[in-house]
Structure 1
Amino acid sequence: MHRSGTTMAWNVFKFCTVLRGLGSIMILLVLGVVGVTYYAVVFTNYGPALFDGGLHSFIAVVVLILFHFLLVLLLWSYFTVVLTDSGTVPPNWKPASDEERGEVDPLNESEFDGLQPDLSSQRIRYCWKCNQFKPPRCHHCSVCGRCVLKMDHHCVWVVNCVGALNYKYFLLFLFYTFLETSLVTLALFSHFLAFFSDEEIPGTTATLATTFLSFVLNLAFALSVFGFLIMHVSLVSANTTTIEVFGTDKRYWFIPAYSDEDLRRIPALQGLEFPSNPDFDSEEF
Structure 2
Amino acid sequence: MPTMHRSGAAMAWNVFKFCTALRGLGSIMILLVLGVVGVTYYAVVLTNYGPALYDGGVDSFNALLVLVPFHCLLIMLLWSYFSVVLTDPGSVPPTWRPSADEERGEADPLNGQEFNSVQKDLAKPRVRYCRKCNQLKPPRCHHCSVCGRCVLKMDHHCVWVVNCVGALNYKYFLLFLVSFFIFG
Q: Pick 1 or 2: higher relative contact order, CA cutoff 8 A, min separation 6.
A: 2
**How far 1:58 sits from its partner (Å)?**
1.1
> Pick from 48, 53, 60: which aligns with 1:50?
53
2:139 aligned partner, one-letter code: P
Residue 3 (structure 1) aligned with residue 6 (structure 2): no
Q: Which has the higher helix share?
A: 1
**How far 1:102 sits from its partner (Å)?**
6.3
Summarize deviations over 1:180-218 as a string: whole Å, max 9, x none: 12xxxxxxxxxxxxxxxxxxxxxxxxxxxxxxxxxxxxx
Q: Which residue of 2 aligns with 1:13?
A: 17
Report how many aligned residue pairs link the two structures.
164
Residue 127 (structure 1) aligned with residue 130 (structure 2): yes
Does structure 1 conserve the Cα–Cα contact (< 8 Å) formed by 2:144 and 2:150? Answer: yes
1:76 aligned partner, one-letter code: W
Residue 147 (structure 1) aligned with residue 161 (structure 2): no
Matches of 1:102 and 1:35, distance apart in 2: 52
Q: Secondary structure at the match of 2:150?
A: strand
Q: Secondary structure at the match of 2:93?
A: coil
> Pick from 153, 157, 160: which aligns with 2:160?
157
Unmatched segments (≥5 aa) in structure 2: 5-9, 109-122
Matches of 1:55 and 1:12, distance apart in 2: 58
1:190-201 counterparts in 2 under 5 A? none
Does structure 2 conserve the Cα–Cα contact (< 8 Å) formed by 1:78 and 1:173? Answer: yes
Q: Which residue of 2 aligns with 1:73?
A: 76
**How far 1:7 sits from its partner (Å)?**
5.2
**How far 1:52 sits from its partner (Å)?**
2.1
Matches of 1:44 and 1:32, distance apart in 2: 17
Q: TM-score, normalised by structure 2?
A: 0.82
After TM superposition, the runs of 4+ consecutive aligned structure 1 residues lying more than 6 A away are none
**How far 1:78 sits from its partner (Å)?**
0.4
Structure whose CA Rg is larger = 2
> Pick from 103, 107, 126: which aligns with 2:106?
103
1:247-262 counterparts in 2 under 5 A? none
Q: Secondary structure at the match of 2:21?
A: helix
2:181 aligned partner, one-letter code: F
Q: Which residue of 2 aligns with 1:179?
A: 182
Does structure 1 conserve the Cα–Cα contact (< 8 Å) formed by 2:89 and 2:167? Answer: yes
Superposition CA RMSD, Å: 2.3
Q: Secondary structure at the match of 1:165?
A: coil
Q: Which has the higher strand share?
A: 2
Q: Which residue of 1 aligns with 2:140?
A: 137
**How far 1:62 sits from its partner (Å)?**
1.0
**How far 1:2 sits from its partner (Å)?**
6.1
Matches of 2:135 and 2:20, distance apart in 1: 24
Q: TM-score, normalised by structure 1?
A: 0.54
Does structure 2 conserve the Cα–Cα contact (< 8 Å) formed by 1:92 and 1:132? Answer: no
Does structure 1 conserve the Cα–Cα contact (< 8 Å) formed by 2:2 and 2:13? Answer: no
